[in-house]
Structure 1
Amino acid sequence: MESIITGRITGLEMLEIGPCKDGYEMGFLIGQRFSRQINSRLSKDLILRNQLLPFARSPRSHTLLKSLSENNKRRYPNYWDELQGTAQGSDVPFLEVLSNLMVRAERSTAEMEVDVLQIMLLNFRKEILPFIPKAEQSSSIDTNDDCSDILVVSDSMAVAAHNEDANVALVGHTYLIKRNLPNGSSFTAYTYAGELPSCAFGFNSHGLAFTLNSVPPSKHEIDAGAIGRNFICRDLLEAQSIDDALTRIHSSEASVGHSYNLIDTKTRRILNVETASRNQLKTRV
């Protein structure tokens, strides 16, 4: 039987849910609870409105978007269902006419219903932005959403300090999700409105925590249409140990690189894992 608990922690809203019968139900409850924040972000996010959506109108985007959707749905079907549930719960169209969008590639871009892609574009922005020609990118929009961390481990202490330097579009558009899983475990994740938990930071009842930092890719390093960062990070929330998390990262087949700070709160072990596409990674202890 599902339970829903809402609250507020120093101005940040929290939703506790679960166990849920499936990923779609989890996503639907999140979308329903945070519909206002999600729709507000969609209307105000300048990167989405001025870069991602215009690119999605262009026929040259269709192969990339189709590959991203098919590959991530195949690799992580339950998380894909979560994303669809979030869109449905918040009354935001998702991908129900993506195939029609591809078929209509020859039609005028003004006639194309690109709103169906909004949630997907948010979740794949890191995998899409490198393919937008620089001439079409607005210099007035700050796309630098890098974060930074300080990691310290000694005989007397272990500290992980994270600075959340996200884009200004996320101000007022974040929340905490705590999910209780059917197997008795749980996770808590700081979540960007409309996105999977969590491409920022989170922790679970197995004692695993993580924070994330951006690794801007060179275009030749990108594996176009492969697995998205948001899906990999969502998978880390269910890792049962730091070694399990390493395995999930290593086998993820990521499209673009990222930096993962993995923290074992039980053994005071901290690892930094920097990745690139095609399963390349470097681990620092």
Structure 2
Amino acid sequence: MPVSEKIGRRNAIPVLYCRGTYYEVGFDVGRTFSGLIKSFLEISNPLNKVYLPLYETSEGRAVYESTLAAVKENFPQYVREMEGTADGAKVPFHKLFLLHMDEILPNVLQKKPSDTTNGCSTLCINYPNQEILGHTEDALSEVLNHIYFVSAHIKEDIPQGRWKVTEERFSSLCYAGHLPGFTMSYNHHGLVFSVNIISAKTLVAGKTPRFFLTRALLAAENFVQAQQILRDTGCGAADAVSINMTFLTQDGDRLFHNAEVAPALNTNESTLSVFTASPGEHIFHCNKFLRLKVPEVGGMIVSSSDSRQATFECFCTGHDPDNFQDVRNILGDQSGKDFTIFRESGDDDFVKTVAVGIFDCVAKTWSIYADNPKLNDPIVVLPLVLKH
């Protein structure tokens, strides 16, 4: 069957349970999902039409090498994890790393940015017995059916990387060939989080791509560490991202946080802004800065974010979302004229919602939907297993 053959939206998301070193876990991910990874590498338009041609130029290779060097210095364990995935899947490492650089390469080389609506929507509600983080995972259409879960227990004898990590235990929804941590995830310390990309106008070579900051979050034990990871002092972020998170084991009232992270331009630390939703409050975040005054690429990703924000605010007229069903209804909403929250306008739509996840912080469950959550039951409800 040709990898590009249209098979429609599948109600299937495979999961791998694995344990070992960073390289061993990466290898088992690559070996297990080699078919999906090879298929995705073949059909990825950004990789084949933009990143690889630029990588073949001397200027592009210099941007690649400086960024890889920065990651190797601060997060060598995640480079080994990616090397394991490449070896297990029998694919070239540089193709996987280019995917993790995302738009850094064309942006730094001042090539025309991709005008896509690629991005996600996250809703956190914080009400009595209704403490919920819900997230639509929106991606380029080729990502559809190229996702899987990784539930990993990583142990090393020697502390790894700049934060001296020896053990990680987490579950994460992953794009094929990509490190865990970039969509929606939780770890055994009780950190629950989701990710919204933001397209800053100016990106930086030789800094930490957002994929590696979100991967590092999977080791965070508390909110202080999470902020430390995102600030990345000594290097800083290469691009922009928004993180929505809470810690299930924190003392006192439930708190949800939205962290906006901007590239470290002419500095060695990411710009960081945090908003906290206390009891009786909520957060809705898409793919644009709501607080940081940082220039953005603009185009459809901002127009789409504005449209989804307007849909949410319309829903809130006279009634704040305060229960699980409200979250399902909002994340499944398709009432927007040009851009909807749940995204599937047709077979040829170039951005689709590939999965929806809803974390119930009271019941400690993670409901996963492979289709519209407003109209369908979850494909699975996973328990959130925490460290004792």
1:234 lines up with 2:215 in the alignment = yes
CA distance in 1, matches of 2:105, 2:111: 13
CA distance in 1, matches of 2:169, 2:129: 29
In structure 2, the residue matched to 1:192 is: 175
Supply the AA of the counterpart residue of 1:236: L
Supply the AA of the counterpart residue of 2:219: E
- Secondary structure at 1:70 match in 2: helix
Supply the AA of the counterpart residue of 1:187: F
CA distance in 1, matches of 2:219, 2:150: 14
How far does the alpha carbon of each residue in 1:7-46 deviate from its partner, in whole angstroms, 9 at most, with x for none?
A: xx9511000001x1x2111111110000000000000111
Structure 1 residues 102-141: aligned runs within 5 Å: 117-131=94-108, 133-134=110-111
How far does the alpha carbon of each residue in 1:66-101 deviate from its partner, in whole angstroms, 9 at most, with x for none?
A: 10111101110111100111001100122xxxxxxx
In structure 2, the residue matched to 1:275 is: 261
- Secondary structure at 2:199 match in 1: coil
In structure 2, the residue matched to 1:113 is: none
1:224 lines up with 2:205 in the alignment = yes
- Secondary structure at 1:210 match in 2: strand
Unaligned runs of 5+ in 2: 1-9, 156-165, 265-269, 277-388
CA distance in 1, matches of 2:46, 2:116: 7
CA distance in 1, matches of 2:80, 2:121: 31
Q: Is the 8 A contact 1:189 1:201 kept in 2?
A: yes
Supply the AA of the counterpart residue of 2:275: R
Unaligned runs of 5+ in 1: 1-8, 95-116
- Structure number with bigger Rg: 2
CA distance in 1, matches of 2:167, 2:41: 34
How far does the alpha carbon of each residue in 1:222-259 deviate from its partner, in whole angstroms, 9 at most, with x for none?
A: 23220111111111111112222122112261111110
CA distance in 1, matches of 2:167, 2:177: 26
In structure 1, the residue matched to 2:125 is: 152
Q: Is the 8 A contact 1:127 1:225 kept in 2?
A: no
Structure 1 residues 198-213: aligned runs within 5 Å: 198-213=181-196
Change (3 A) 1:210 1:44: same
In structure 2, the residue matched to 1:177 is: 150
Identity over aligned residues, as a percent? Answer: 28
Supply the AA of the counterpart residue of 1:164: E
Match of 1:244 among 221, 225, 230: 225
Q: Is the 8 A contact 1:192 1:198 kept in 2?
A: no
- Secondary structure at 2:37 match in 1: helix
Change (3 A) 1:72 1:283: same
Q: Is the 8 A contact 1:185 1:206 kept in 2?
A: no
Shift of 1:198: 2.1
Supply the AA of the counterpart residue of 2:33: F
TM-score if structure 2 supplies the norm length?
0.60
TM-score if structure 1 supplies the norm length?
0.81
CA distance in 2, matches of 1:87, 1:181: 18
CA distance in 2, matches of 1:129, 1:200: 23
In structure 2, the residue matched to 1:265 is: 248
CA distance in 2, matches of 1:181, 1:37: 23
CA distance in 1, matches of 2:196, 2:80: 26
Shift of 1:186: 1.8
Q: Is the 8 A contact 1:47 1:143 kept in 2?
A: no
Higher helix share: 1
Shift of 1:164: 0.9
Q: Which moved more, 1:76-85 or 1:165-174?
A: 165-174
In structure 1, the residue matched to 2:16 is: 15
Q: Is the 8 A contact 2:195 2:244 kept in 1?
A: yes
In structure 1, the residue matched to 2:86 is: 87
Shift of 1:192: 0.8
CA distance in 2, matches of 1:148, 1:68: 28
In structure 2, the residue matched to 1:165 is: 138
In structure 2, the residue matched to 1:50 is: 49
